[in-house]
Amino acid sequence: MNIPFDIVKGKGPIIFSPPQSAADVDQVREFVPEESVPYVGEALKRLRNEVGNEAAVLGFVGAPFTLSSYVIEGGSSKNFTQIKRLAFSQILPYLKHIVEAVKQTHPHLPLILYASGSGGLLERLARTSVDVVSLDWTVDMAEGRDRLGRDIAVQGNVDPGVLFGSKEFITSRIEDTVKKAEREKHVLNLGRGIKVGTPQENVAHFFEVAQGIRY
């Protein structure tokens, strides 16, 4: 994409020359997955062949807005001042355009939308025509379910910090989330990515509890 970068341990991606203007953005080349990351598609094909129909294969695409925030900010950011300055204020139409384009080529592929810190925008996220809205851990699952409506599925949203607690505590938070999400149209997950340093045995416990849930 004509964007020089490096991955720095403990910091994540670092962009050497972040775009500062619309003219800089125009210099970005179109991303062609088959040319830049052919191994991703190959890995997914192998995984699908390996698990067959025994398990779902869930893919996460941190784009276009997550990717653009990294590029324009020059790396990870808490305030996103630069990308806000460049101001893409009409996000909903672009999201709907992406969803519609994917649905045209893959009409039976469920699409999940995750937007961290979007608790105030849930009603708008539901209007993107995605199949599932993934809630971050700051949103109460029962409230999120009510605000999104019953026609859309939800994913989440156990606080990833819970995985640093006892197994009993982890179990209680999972059960609380599942209870609030109710029986239908819910994908149990964390409300964000696993934190660095999370005990592996607690991650395993999360899966064990999830697999043992019966309605």
Average pLDDT over residues 34-46: 91
Whole-number average pLDDT of the chain = 89
Question: Which band of pLDDT confidence, cut at 50, 70 and 90, is reported for residue 204?
Answer: very high
- From residue 107, give the alpha-carbon distance in Å to each of 58, 101, 104, 130, 137: 16, 10, 6, 11, 30
What pLDDT sits at residue 90? 59
Q: Determine whether 13 is exposed, middle or buried from the number of CB atoms within 10 Å of its CB (0-12, 13-18, 19+).
A: middle
What pLDDT sits at residue 29? 87
Please tell me the least confidently modeled range out of 38-42, 64-68, 94-98, 161-165.
64-68
Distance CA 13, CA 198 (A): 21
Please tell me the least confidently modeled range out of 88-92, 152-156, 170-174.
88-92
Question: Which band of pLDDT confidence, cut at 50, 70 and 90, is reported for residue 11?
Answer: confident
Report the range out of 10-14, 78-82, 135-139 with the highest average pLDDT: 135-139
Q: Look at the pTM and tell me if it is higher than 0.85.
A: no
Average pLDDT over residues 143-158: 93
Partner residues linked to 114 by β-bridges = 134
What pLDDT sits at residue 77? 80
pLDDT at residue 155 is higher than 60: yes
Residue 62: closest CA among 104, 105, 13: 13
Sketch the domain layout of the chain as residue ranges.
1-89
What pLDDT sits at residue 85? 65
Distance CA 188, CA 194 (A): 14
What pLDDT sits at residue 86? 62
What pLDDT sits at residue 173? 97
Phi/psi for 112 (5° steps) reads -110, 130
